[in-house]
């Protein structure tokens, strides 16, 4: 389900990324910019989530070892 949501947001954001020079067009469609920002944030979170989980589990293991 998460993959479908991210792909949907990514496809919705492509118009804002494809035509950044058309200020009038993009300013008239601010929802594309919003979808682009949400998509980029989602991709960053998805990319960093496994690392954050690994760090958290390592810290928990250290606490239990004490």
DSSP state of 64: H
Helices (H), the chain: 2-18, 23-28, 30-65
Contacts of 39 (CB under 8 A, 6+ apart): 6, 9, 10, 12, 13
pTM: 0.45
> What are the tens digits of pLDDT across the range 7-66?
666 666 666 556 555 555 556 667 777 777 788 888 888 888 888 899 999 999 999 988
Find tokens 């991709």 and name the residue.
43
């Amino acid at each position: 389900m998460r993959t479908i949501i991210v792909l949907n947001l990514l496809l919705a954001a492509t118009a804002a990324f494809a035509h950044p020079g058309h200020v009038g067009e993009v300013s008239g469609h601010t929802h594309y910019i919003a979808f682009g920002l949400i998509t980029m944030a989602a991709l960053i979170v998805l990319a960093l989530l496994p690392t954050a989980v690994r760090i958290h589990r390592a810290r928990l293991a250290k606490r239990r070892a004490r």
